Amino acid sequence: MKTRVAILISGRGSNLQSLITAAAARQYPAEIALVLSNNPAAPGLARAEAAGIPTLAIDHRRHGRDRQSHEAELHAALQSHAIGLVCLAGYMRLLSPFFVAAWQGAMLNIHPSLLPAFPGLNTHERALAAGVALHGCTTHFVTETMDDGPIIGQAAVPVLASDTPETLAARVLAQEHKLYPATLAAVASATLPAPAPAAALSHLRRV
Ligand code: GRF
């Protein structure tokens, strides 16, 4: 039986698309069962609709400053769709301890840098400014600290002398679109205790 996965997005959804495309293969161990967005105008929602995947826009602005009541609504939607794993894919909201704890060991994120380098925003600009020779992307389990948590997989790209933030971002994004589907497949087919202790994840680091 395939693991039922929800993808949380806020924007264009190119990583969502890579997961939808991978999950269309018969032998892929996960099924994209729901796409949620905090932003009703997220272009990624149309990608899910085109693939016949149920979507829900749960606008955080309706909840004012009450982050937890927004997340309670997200959580209820995940439960009512019998979701087993959550993938953040360009989801631009910080998550509160309540939601992180509810999905501990069952929520993944992709970040456009080789963590622990460059957590946060504008990673490509910062990598160029720092003069690193290698840049890339990371998949990890979500913990309370942003862009932290046990690393599952990484993909590196060389930084070229001619790179701009845009060219570097495009080279990293091409790797994200391979790394995230490979990571989700590895996690969905692994038997992970929940919550997953870091030691139990060591066999997943070579995705
Ligand atoms: C990606 O670079 C991802 O690593 C980061 O946000 C961006 C989302 O892009 N977390 P997309 O919406 O998947 O195209």
Residue 199: pLDDT band by 50, 70, 90 thresholds? very low
Looking at residue 117, its pLDDT comes to 98
Q: What percent of the chain has pLDDT over 90?
A: 90
Q: Taking the mean position of all CA atoms in its chain, how far away is CA 74?
A: 16
CA 90 – CA 81 distance, rounded (Å): 21
- Calculate the average pLDDT of the chain: 93
Ligand 1 pocket, 181 CB below 6 A? no
Looking at residue 206, its pLDDT comes to 43
Higher-scoring residue by pLDDT: 161, 195: 161
CB 23, CB 32: distance < 8 Å: yes
Ligand 1 pocket, 15 CB below 6 A? yes
Ligand 1 pocket, 119 CB below 6 A? no
Q: How far is the CA of 82 from the centre of ligand 1 (A)?
A: 25
Looking at residue 191, its pLDDT comes to 54
Section 165-172 average pLDDT: 98
CB 7, CB 74: distance < 8 Å: no
Looking at residue 129, its pLDDT comes to 98
Residue 137: pLDDT band by 50, 70, 90 thresholds? very high
Q: How far is the CA of 52 from the centre of ligand 1 (A)?
A: 22
Which pTM was predicted? 0.91
CB 195, CB 143: distance < 8 Å: no
pLDDT at residue 202 tops 90: no
